[in-house]
Structures are given as structure tokens and as C-alpha cells.
Structure 1
Amino acid sequence: MDFEQDQTDASQFQQYKHKLEISYRKFLDYITPHIIPRWIATYIIIIIFMGRILVVEGWYIVCYTWAIFLLNMFLKFLTPKIDPSLEQDIQNDSVEAGTNKMDENDEDFKPFIRRLPEFRFWFKTTISTIVAIFCSLFSIFDIPVFWPILVAYFIILFFLTMRRQIQHMIKYRYLPFDLGKTKYGSK
């Protein structure tokens, strides 16, 4: 008798889990095209988190870890899916081997495809901010540190990585944004 009851409880749980997954997917599908409202909601969550950190004057390690994670995600967002430096090395090796002779003026159009798409970047940013807020509720994560050093280290890290990324973008002539590009379509 208990075995049959366990089976029905398990199947009811599976049904409930399946309905919850379907609802979650519907919600994600619904909000996908609404880029600006999604980011506004995320910025509000970020402001709440930063306000909490400033008001309680603690959880600087949580904030630092969150900021490093966001920097990592931002770099993936700016980086092309196929690294042009690796592609150029492959082309150079094939030209040296004599298998592929390309003229220097022969450049194919290659659209910019991000390593981390915008939706995934938004999703990971939102989830990481919610996790950081959750972690800031527990005193176990409030490790005492001298926060100005963390801020200075993050600023240095940010400028060094962004300088390297911008040099990479200039060297391989790609622009991860649609600024100044021709738009076609109806007026």
C-alpha cells in the first residue's frame, strides 16, 4: 500500500515539476523580445543590491565576487564566438602548407556572433545579482576585509582587461555593437 502511495506521490511531483518548467519556459519566451524592460528590471535589482551593500556596510567579498563575475560575462559578451586570432593562425598555417592561397584583398563577410548572446548575458546578470542579494542575507558571507583595496583592485583589473579587449578589437577590426552601421528596411 505504501509503495503505491509513493508511486502516486512521485508522479504528482513529476507532473507539478513539468508544469512549473513549462510555465518557466513560457515566461522566458514571453520576455525575450522585450530587451529594454528586461534590462530596466535588472538595473533595479542591481540598485537594490548596491543600496543594501552601502547601507549595511558589509558583504564586500560578495559584492567583489559578483563584480568579477559580471566583468567576466561582459568580456564574453564583447568577444566573438570564433576568435579571429585563432582563425588567422589557422589561415597562416594553411597558406604556409600551400593548401589555401588567399589574396590579401579577398575577405569574406563574417557577421559578428557573440560568444555570449545578449539574452544569456542578461539572464546570468539577473540571476547572479539575485544570488548576491541572497548571500548578503547571511552573516557567514560577511567576511571582514579592507574594502578600498578590493575597489582599487577591481578598477585596475577592469581597465587592464578592457584595454586588452579594445586592442584585440582594433587589431582584428571587429565592432561588437551596431553603432554607425547601415540599417536597411522600411522607413
Structure 2
Amino acid sequence: MESSMNGTDHYANTNPLAGNKTLQTLQQKYRYLLDKTTPHAPARWVAWALLLVIYGLRTWYLKGFYIVTYALGIYNLNLLLGFLTPQVDPELEGPTLPSKGQDEFRPFVRRLPEFKFWYSSFKAILIGFVVTFFPIADVPVFWPILLMYWFVLFFVTMKRQIKHMIKYRYIPFSIGKKSYGSGKGGGKGKGPGSDK
């Protein structure tokens, strides 16, 4: 009875790979690597960009796998929408206080956090790269139509998202926002009602 209360025994009962010690060790090392890279956002995004460039060069060299690339584009567009959307949709649940004309929707908590956005996109591009080694996935299509359709979908979706951001007055990025209590002087002169 006492062993069932232990978290590792519960994990062993729910994980189908629990019987294999080698796979468990690999999972632990993989998890450790992910935990180490979490705070290093610039390095992670550089690695993501390099993988995307490598994937692009591979598909350009092979002159194929347009369906795989289109699927990656749609999936990453979906991730981007989750990243730009607040966790609590003001359209469904109403705006939070304060509701003055100058205020923005606060607090802004993303539906999809930055790390999960990066991690999901990185995995998808990596899977897409691996798929390019299987010729069965190279379905012949007229790629300009796919590209045009993706751009139309992107612009329509972003237009709708930007209208939503303007209507509910929220900005998904912290660039240009006021910061309180930081900087020199303990944050004096930055808040409302200050003399400076």
C-alpha cells in the first residue's frame, strides 16, 4: 500500500515504457536537457531557425515534399495563434477589471506559453525533416496553389487576431509597456500619479 503512494510507482504503472530501464534513462536525460534549455530563449530560437533553414534547404534541394511543408505551415500558424491569444478570451467571459478606455486587457496570460510554442514547433519541424527521407510522403502537387492558399489563410487569420487585439485592448508582447517598480530609483516616476 505504501509503495502505491510513491510517485515513481504511479509513473511506472502509467508509463508503457516503464519496464525498459534504457528507455527510462533516455527519457530522464531528455527531460534534463529540456529543463536545462528552458531559460535560454535566444539560443532555443536560434536552434529553431537553424533547423527551419536546414529543412527549407532540404526541401528546396529535393524539389518536393510540398504537402509536408504546407502541413508544417498550418501547424505553426495554429501554434502562433495560441501564442498570441489570451488564455481567458474576453469575448466569451468579458473583460477583466479595470475597464477604463485607456486600460488594456490584464493580466495577459497566453493560451500557449512561449516554451511550449517553441517545443511544439521544433518537434514538428524535426518530424517534417525526418519525413523527407521517405519518398512515399512526396505527393505531387502544384505548389504555387498551396503557397497562395497558405498566405491567404495567414493574412485572414492575422487580420481577425489583430482586430480582436484592438477591440479588447491587449498586446501579447511586453515591448513598449509600462514597467512598475524596476529600474533606477526603485520605480519612482513610472507609475500613475508620479511627478516625473
- The TM-score with structure 2 as length reference comes to 0.77
Q: Tell me the secondary structure at the aligned position of residue 20 of structure 2.
A: helix
Higher helix share: 1
Alignment of 1:38-187 (within 5 A): 38-88=44-94, 105=100, 110-183=106-179, 184-187=181-184
Distance apart, 1:20 and its partner CA: 1.9
Note closer, same or farther for the CA distance 1:31–1:104 as it changes in structure 2 (3 Å cut). closer
| Number of residue equivalences | 166
> What is the CA-CA distance between 1:109 and the residue it aligns to?
7.3
Give 1:25 shift: 1.5
What's the C-alpha RMSD, in Å, of the aligned pairs?
A: 2.5
Highest relative contact order (Cα 8 Å, sep 6+), 1 or 2? 1
Q: List 4+ stretches of structure 1 deviating above 4 A.
A: 102-109
- Return the offset for 1:172: 0.6
> Residues 99-155 of structure 1: CA distance to partner in whole angstroms, max 9, x if unpaired?
xxx996598973100000000000001000000011111111100000000010001
Separation in 1, partners of 2:171, 2:165: 7
Worse overlay, 116-125 or 21-30? 21-30
Question: TM-score if structure 1 supplies the norm length?
Answer: 0.81
Counterpart pick for 1:20 among 12, 15, 26:
26
C-alpha contact 2:18 2:24 (8 A) present in aligned 1: no
**AA aligned opposite 2:178:** T
Distance 1:146 1:164 in 2: 28
Aligned-pair identity (%): 43
Q: Unaligned regions of 5+ residues in structure 2, if any?
A: 1-16, 185-196
Q: Which letter does structure 2 place at the counterpart of 1:36?
A: P
SS of residue paired to 2:94: helix
* Contact preservation (8 Å) 2:165, 2:171: yes
